[in-house]
Amino acid sequence: MPAAPKKPDAEPARYEDALAELERLVQAMENGQMPLEGLLDSYKRGAQLLAFCRERLQAVEAQVKVLEEGQLKDWTA
């Protein structure tokens, strides 16, 4: 049986960590061997990870736009 997600509110350290955890959750959910409560917890965690990844991607996209305009500024995550 797949392991339950870590703490639902624990934020990953990096985008790559969040993406890897999200991929593991999706695979475990698709295998169909997770109890119903585990599915709900995994879905909630997946939504959190997806929001985290989207936020990081948007921050990087904003920084790239600044760089493309020739206005190098500090990046605030």
Residue 54 contacts residue 47 (beta carbons within 8 Å) = no
pLDDT digits (tens, 9 = 90+) for 42-74: 999 999 999 999 999 999 998 888 887 776 666
Neighbouring residues of 50: CB distance < 8 A, sequence distance ≥ 6: 22
CA 9 to chain centre: 12
Q: How far, in Å, CA of 10 to CA of 31, rounded?
A: 24
pLDDT digits (tens, 9 = 90+) for 1-29: 444 444 556 889 999 999 999 999 999 99
User: Which of 58, 65, 64, 66 has the alpha carbon at shortest distance from 77?
Assistant: 58
- Read off the pTM: 0.71
